[in-house]
């Protein structure tokens, strides 16, 4: 297909539009859901960081509770930048989550505590994903370079090497799904068991926020798989 004087693969246009729609829809969903439930006060009246401290104190982490877990909290810059670092046992909470007593803040904090519990219990999926982190840090740039050079100069071996490197990112995104979904399930169980989810509104909001968050990872996995399939189709056509 010719466009603006350049030949563009119609299959690439389909992939581009599909990726744009899937990723865009997931981002709109998580942002709108988070915004909605950020305006709803949790029945506990506790800010996000207090929710986290309560969970660490009352929930079992591989046989430990409270200070014995080594888990700590810190405020990190940005929005929806919340994360758990297994190397330092730190849970980073964005200011909007750490300082607010909303249902959204409660859900996000519990989700990150869920990751800490996975780490304490030696989750296989979480360890496998952590093992791939060094590789996927550089694989996007390396894979795109190998694929581009291999395609331009018709170097089949280089092109396939790029696909293999890109496959590491796909594997990482797939391994992320059970880790993230598992953390969300743990979050809901912990909130119920500790009585922090005290009514139907709390539970409905937590479920909505956790589901929206999970959809961003599903979208990332789907788009990465679609991209890999596109590269494989090129390899077959040029093989």
CA–CA distance, 63 with 69 (Å, rounded to integer): 9
| Whether the Cβ atoms of residue 139 and residue 168 lie closer than 8 Å to each other | yes
Beta-carbon neighbour count of residue 177 at 10 Å?
16
Q: Is the distance from CB of 230 to CB of 11 less than 8 angstroms?
A: yes
Q: Does the annotation count 180 as an active-site position?
A: no
In this structure, what token pair is assigned to residue 219?
């979208």
* Euclidean distance between CA atoms 239 and 237, whole angstroms: 6
CA distance 95 to 41: 16
Q: Judging by beta carbons within 10 Å of its beta carbon (0-12, 13-18, 19+), is residue 91 exposed, middle or buried?
A: buried
Would you list the DSSP string of 14-34? HHHHHHHHHHHHHHHHHHHHH
Set 53, 90, 112, 180: catalytic member:
112
Residues 227, 155: Cα–Cα separation, whole Å: 20
Consecutive H or E run containing 6 = strand 6-7
Q: Which residues pair with 83 in a beta bridge?
A: 92
Give the single-character DSSP code of 8.
-
Catalytic residues, which ones?
Answer: 112
């Amino acid at each position: 297909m010719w466009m603006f004087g350049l030949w563009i693969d119609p299959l690439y246009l389909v992939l581009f539009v599909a990726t744009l729609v899937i990723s865009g829809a997931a981002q709109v969903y998580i942002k709108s859901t988070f915004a909605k439930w950020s305006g709803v006060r949790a029945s506990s009246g506790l800010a996000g960081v207090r929710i986290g401290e309560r969970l660490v104190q009352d929930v079992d982490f591989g046989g430990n509770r409270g200070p014995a877990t080594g888990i700590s909290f810190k405020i990190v810059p940005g929005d929806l930048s919340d994360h758990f670092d297994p190397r330092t046992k730190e849970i980073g909470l964005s200011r909007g989550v750490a300082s607010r007593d909303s249902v959204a803040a409660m859900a996000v904090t519990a989700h990150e505590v869920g990751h800490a519990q996975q780490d304490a219990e030696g989750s296989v999926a979480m360890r496998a994903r952590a093992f791939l982190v060094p590789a996927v840090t550089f694989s996007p740039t390396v894979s795109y370079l190998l694929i581009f050079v291999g395609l331009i100069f018709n170097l089949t071996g280089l092109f396939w090497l790029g696909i293999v490197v890109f496959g590491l990112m796909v594997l990482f995104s797939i391994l992320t799904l059970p880790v993230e979904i598992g953390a969300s399930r743990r979050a809901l169980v912990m909130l119920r068991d500790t009585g922090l989810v005290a009514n139907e509104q709390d539970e409905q909001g937590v479920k909505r926020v956790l589901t929206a968050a999970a959809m961003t990872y599903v979208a990332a996995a789907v788009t990465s798989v679609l991209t890999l399939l596109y590269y494989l189709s090129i390899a077959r056509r040029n093989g």
